[in-house]
Amino acid sequence: MASETVRDRILAAGERITPQRDLIAGVLETAPRPLSASGLYEAVARLDPRIGRATVFRTVAALERAGIVEQLSLPGERSGYLLCATVGHHHHLVCQRCGKVSDLPEETVGPFFATIESDHGFSVDHASFSVYGTCAGCSARLV
Amino acid sequence: MASETVRDRILAAGERITPQRDLIAGVLETAPRPLSASGLYEAVARLDPRIGRATVFRTVAALERAGIVEQLSLPGERSGYLLCATVGHHHHLVCQRCGKVSDLPEETVGPFFATIESDHGFSVDHASFSVYGTCAGCSARLV
DNA sequence: CTACATATTGAGAGTAAGTATCACATACAG
DNA sequence: CTGTATGTGATACTTACTCTCAATATGTAG
């Protein structure tokens, strides 16, 4: 099901399907947490060592264009690639205990941007950010 | 004044002052917008070509430790180094027209984090983000 | 003022992420 | 099934850091 969905989303975005893209999307799909560039490349190479480095980056770029993958980047850390369930632009909550990344819906972010516009006269165009902390599941486990 | 303040802030953080650090802090201080790694290195080299690459990065790291510099990073873009007026952790509003970066005060961000905690059961530890758009000044100029 | 322990520097090599190039291969529209 | 636009792999290159190490400078204690 999920695999078919990713295929559909790639096609819907006007991108071609190739075995390499299928494989790379599959790796991202099964990863429990964001993969670094080298982590992704190694995981892909383990499944098919003939896939080149450039193809991995090109595929990630294609998946980003299709809105399927997002790149997380944080100062001082290597950036990570993440397959997103939510369509379109959105933000992330990253749990520092379990590494799980969940999507932050527009409803939560919208009022915040509205505040910025009214308080600072700053017209928000876009923002891409991740909030780090402890997810509900991990909090419960810590009681 | 500003230079003295930066010196004080470096010392207060328990970091040593060296001519190189003074010079690099000065470059960041006069930069109107965030400097990329290479931009910073080139600007520094123009003032003193004997300063090594490693020193520039080490100094930036020391200034980050002292809370004087923040690194902006955005997916798909080179990260930028920025001298911050505000002490402590904070966030930025980046104007896409004039490049000006202003600080986003805790008062604006706090309620947003509170919403995340109450709506998602997600305990926020930290977040470092930049919001892109058009600042009040540029908006006025566009009327 | 001097000496010393400790931190910092510069040079240069090394690593990781990502991009460019180009001949060859393949997806998919017609 | 054929043609063409697009994708692929190999490889070289660029940018952004990081590491090492001998030489040097900082700030403190005497």
A79 & A55 share domain: yes
- Side-chain half-sphere exposure of B62, counting CA atoms within 13 A: 23
Q: Is the pLDDT of residue B2 over 70?
A: no
Examine the fold and report which residue of B83, B108, B123 is the final residue of a domain before the chain moves on: B83
pLDDT tens digits along A85-131: 766 667 788 887 777 788 887 888 889 999 999 988 999 887 767 77
- Those residues whose C-beta lies under 8 Å from the C-beta of residue A45, and which sit 6 or more positions away, are A51
Closest by CA to A71, choosing from B37, B74, B92, B72, is: B74
B115 & B76 share domain: no
A18 & A40 share domain: yes
A100 & A73 share domain: no
Whether B19 CB is under 7 Å from strand D = yes
A8 & A71 share domain: yes
Q: Is the pLDDT of residue B60 over 70?
A: yes
3-state secondary structure of B129: coil
Whether B100 and B32 have beta carbons less than 8 Å apart is answered as yes
User: What pLDDT does A3 receive?
Assistant: 42
Whether B91 and A115 have beta carbons less than 8 Å apart is answered as no
Residue A8: Cβ-neighbour burial (10 angstroms; 0-12, 13-18, 19+): exposed
A74 & A46 share domain: yes
B65 & B42 share domain: yes
A75 & A96 share domain: no
What's B97's domain CATH number? 3.30.1490.190
Any chain B CB within 8 A of the CB of A30?
no
Whether B24 and B60 have beta carbons less than 8 Å apart is answered as yes
B24 & B64 share domain: yes
How far in angstroms lies nucleotide C25's C1' from the CA of residue A55? 14
Q: How confident is the model at residue A62 (pLDDT cuts 50, 70, 90)?
A: very high
pLDDT tens digits along B28-53: 989 888 899 889 999 999 999 999 99
User: What pLDDT does A4 receive?
Assistant: 53
Those of residues 65-104 in A touching chain B at CB distance below 8 A are: 70-76, 79, 93, 95-96, 102, 104
3-state secondary structure of A138: helix
The number of domains in chain B is 2
Q: How confident is the model at residue B4 (pLDDT cuts 50, 70, 90)?
A: low
What's B51's domain CATH number? 1.10.10.10
Average pLDDT over residues A58-71: 90
Domain that holds residue B48: 2-83
How far in angstroms lies nucleotide C5's C1' from the CA of residue B15? 16
Whether B53 CB is under 7 Å from strand C = yes
User: What pLDDT does A88 receive?
Assistant: 62
Q: What sign does the CA torsion over A57, A62, A64, A65 have?
A: positive
Closest by CA to A68, choosing from A17, A142, A132, is: A17
Chain C positions within 7 A of any protein Cβ atom are: 7-13, 16-21, 26-28
Tokens of A10: 């790639």
On average, the pLDDT of chain A sits at: 85
A109 & A62 share domain: no
User: What pLDDT does A59 receive?
Assistant: 96
- Side-chain half-sphere exposure of B29, counting CA atoms within 13 A: 15
A66 & A18 share domain: yes
Q: How confident is the model at residue B90 (pLDDT cuts 50, 70, 90)?
A: confident
Closest by CA to B5, choosing from B46, B93, B66, B80, is: B66
Tokens of B27: 């470059």
Tell me the Ramachandran region of residue A99: left when phi exceeds 0, alpha when psi lies from -120 to 50, beta otherwise.
Answer: left
A66 & A6 share domain: yes
Any chain A CB within 8 A of the CB of B5?
no
CA distance A44 to chain B (A): 22
Q: Which residues of B touch A119 (CB under 8 A)?
A: 108
Whether B131 and A123 have beta carbons less than 8 Å apart is answered as no
User: What pLDDT does B8 receive?
Assistant: 85
Q: Is the pLDDT of residue A136 over 80?
A: yes
Examine the fold and report which residue of A35, A52, A83 is the final residue of a domain before the chain moves on: A83
Q: Which residues of B touch A124 (CB under 8 A)?
A: 131-133
Amino acid symbol at A58: R
Any chain B CB within 8 A of the CB of A139?
yes
- Classify residue A16 by its DSSP letter: P
Examine the fold and report which residue of A83, A107, A130 is the final residue of a domain before the chain moves on: A83
Q: How confident is the model at residue B57 (pLDDT cuts 50, 70, 90)?
A: very high
